Amino acid sequence: MIRLPSNVYAEIVGHCLRGLPDEACGLLGGDPVSGDVARCYPTRNLAASAKLYTVDPGDHLRADRDAESRGMEIIGVFHSHTHTDAYPSPTDVAQAPDPGWHYVLVSLRDTHPTLRSYRIYGDMVDEESVVVAPR
């Protein structure tokens, strides 16, 4: 399970919408044990593509340090799919960096954004529940 405060949920979806027509991405800071997210770190998409994303390494370093200074860790990544389902693509699965992370997908294909979250262990993808909590 991943728990997103409502302001973080809004930041994720807002960053994804602002990134159109390209995919957008960012990192999530929180508690690795409970899956509680406390902070959203929007990052630049170095790939600048509607089909691929690459988290800017400098943005990642700054997010990692900020999370650590707040007693948190980076516990996941989010990115948008502009024309497909909110489900990890084969590229997402092949390049998933950490089996401990949460992988949040936002589909912008339909009228309303759809947000879902997954755990990825090797080539196995497990959807998890998303709880949007009051801030």
Give the residues lining the site for other proteins (CB under 8 A): 25, 27, 32, 47, 51-55, 57-58, 60-61, 64, 73, 77, 79, 88-92, 95-100
**Minimum distance from CB of 111 to other proteins (Å)?**
23
**Minimum distance from CB of 126 to other proteins (Å)?**
17
How many whole angstroms separate alpha carbon 103 and alpha carbon 27?
10
How many whole angstroms separate alpha carbon 31 and alpha carbon 89?
26
**Minimum distance from CB of 86 to other proteins (Å)?**
13
Q: DSSP states of 3-31 as a string?
A: EEEHHHHHHHHHHHHHHTTS--EEEEEE-
Whichever of 8 and 74 has its CB closer to other proteins, that residue is 74
> Which tokens sit at 54?
């690459």
Whichever of 57 and 132 has its CB closer to other proteins, that residue is 57
Whichever of 58 and 133 has its CB closer to other proteins, that residue is 58
SS3 81: strand
